[in-house]
Chain A
């Protein structure tokens, strides 16, 4: 119980400091939302009239205070750029980015765990070399470049999909999932490579432990040792990584949504920042923060379930 209270307090403090950081960032970067809406042809009167209408003529500190007091009451304010309530904007976006992240996460786990085990089993064999090269490639290739490669090879040459053809989930769920497959793959590849490296290292470490020698001494088969003992222990070492992977999946989706033209939270965030939409940026940043903090919290619980020796109440 004490643990939950502490975690909640940390969450609240994290959100508050992140919102302050966003506020200071907005204070520093130049740009006026009304001028951005109106462009270079606007008269001074037009800009002043729009600033008045949007409420952006007030000092930013005042805008921050009204946003955060609203936020506490569950009112996220109104987007300056898109002129509608932020909550309405989020409602449409959250399912998109979460589906994208979830598909990517499933791909990462489904490919990363078996490949990691293979990498450990193939130690010293030629297969390991190939896997090593592939994982190094996966880690080093920048996300956006990978997107371009995938679009080019699978989209324009092999015609397996139509780059830019996004279908909303409100129109057709299967076609929505279909349009998320390749973007999710672009997010998954680098993260899978990282996971493979981690699992391989963790398993090799475990294989050097005394209990493995004992098991061998008892006459247990290699397969049983690998899956019955080593994998279980190696997974515990890897679970905390899932939290980090999720953070990368979310931040990766910001770029991937932009490249593939998927209207999710990442694309909205870019739109919000480039148009200096203060309430929208604040709320999106907080949303992403909450997702990441909560996931890490869940990961903590999962670790304890897998390995009860780890005490949650302790000093982590």
Chain B
């Protein structure tokens, strides 16, 4: 009897193991392009999830606004074919494009546009609280009036247009319908999302017919999956490039379009003293961090505004605090920390790249007698205690912008901003920033935004390290990537160039 049971068990195990060794990797030409994402998306809600980079990887391809960001950071017409603003930039007039269709087959009408704008206002979307009124002048003409002058307001109109009534009960959260080049097909929770080419797209769509975005645990899983052939491509940080065999892969280098910052809490000891903050800035060698941790892939920065915003970017700030241990020591002495100081940096553990950079920085600070202790915390705790609660001495993060406007990167430094997690407080900055917002002349506006950045550097709000290099890696069968000044993955740029 026992032998029979044992025999049965063994047979079962063998059956499973035989199945396990069975053929895998038989591919056909209609294979989808499988893209590996580190992490998972929150949902598809165009009125809330626009904030997280992972969701945007997918929704960027599904949804479009009246206008759309282009690779150089300017906005291009999308659902609207033309837009005009009045002289003092308070009234924007849009003309809807003809022949734009939703993924459900219906044509986009003025009702859909009005519905989408109202949804965005109700959801508290950034910028939309400045809309005084919006109305249809006729079937194809939309007039939006603002409370005050804002020359950069178009950036906010990248917000998705969805069918009227389609999201009354939050349906978009799990089943998005947009006008973009790819339509949503399937969502298997914690596993993958499938997108298929939208044949009725108004513009020039992509060439891939089917895309599977696979959710992976972290960057290690991305590497394993790529090496095993389970995915065809993925996006990662510069430090991952070293582990890829270049002969079997297409590696595309770009920037991540956000400034990594060693954020110092300006209202917590010892960082209330600008001299201490400057001392740390002098003791840190950003180029060294970039070279050792990210193998030189990326760019050193000195401001929250990343290089991709070319008009507003200030290269002169990159080396503003040139590595100088003597200056650092002198400043520390002046501030009363002759015998050195100790502080703790709290880093979200889901971003290994920040942890690795912090380890390097800690060793640089050691040279001038500063001890930086690294404490890793989970993302939820970081958001609650560090970002919202501002209960920390120092932290390390790259904050991305929701739009390509400089305001997306600079607004948080205004003294009373709700997202001013560094507690930066400078009346001079507030004045310059507000002057930039009110400016109707572009040159004047650019000058004011630059002045604001200069103040952040002089007051040393935090130590800006680098715009971390971002890598997009494909197997040899694929190529093509479009870099945007915000985190996005544009699948229309990817092309299949060879068979497996």
Contacts and interface: CB of A to CB of B under 8 A. Distances in A.
A47 B51 CA distance: 11
A164 B52 contact: no
Contact of A40 (B43, B51, B123, B129): B51
Contact of A39 (B16, B52, B381): B52
A37 B400 CA distance: 15
A36 B379 contact: yes
A163 B230 contact: yes
A41 B188 contact: no
A48 interface: yes
B399 interface: yes
A81 interface: yes
B49 interface: yes
A35 B384 contact: yes
Given A36-B383, A178-B20, A261 B173 contact: no
Contact of B40 (A106, A181, A271): A271
Contact of A53 (B36, B170, B387, B389): B170
Given A41-B401, A45-B129, A83-B174, A156 B224 contact: yes
Given A53-B170, A178-B20, A276-B380, A162 B229 contact: yes
Interface in B206-235: 214-217, 221, 224-225, 227-231
Nearest to A49: B124
A97 to B, nearest CB: 13
Contacts, number: 178
Contact of A84 (B22, B174, B221, B388): B174
Contact of A275 (B21, B380, B388): B380
Interface in B1-16: 2, 6, 9-10, 12-13, 16
Contacts of A74: none
Task: Point out which of B16, B20, B53, B230 has the most chain A C-beta atoms below 10 A from its C-beta.
Answer: B20
B230 A165 contact: yes
A38 B126 contact: no
Interface residues of B, number: 66
Given A165-B230, A181-B20, A31 B126 contact: no
Nearest to A276: B380
B42 interface: yes
Interface residues of A, number: 65
B52 A46 contact: no
A111 B389 CA distance: 53
A110 B13 CA distance: 8
A142 interface: no
A42 B400 CA distance: 11
B173 A181 contact: no
Contacts of B401: 41
Nearest to A267: B190
Nearest to A34: B48
B419 interface: yes
Contacts of B51: 38-42, 46
26 contacts: A29-B381, A32-B380, A35-B384, A36-B383, A37-B43, A39-B51, A39-B52, A40-B419, A41-B52, A44-B124, A46-B48, A46-B123, A46-B125, A49-B122, A103-B16, A106-B9, A155-B228, A156-B228, A162-B230, A163-B225, A164-B216, A168-B191, A180-B16, A181-B17, A181-B20, A182-B20
Interface of B: 2, 6, 9-10, 12-13, 16-17, 19-22, 24-25, 36, 40, 42-43, 48-53, 122-126, 129, 170, 173-174, 188-191, 214-217, 221, 224-225, 227-231, 378-381, 383-385, 387-389, 399-402, 408, 418-419
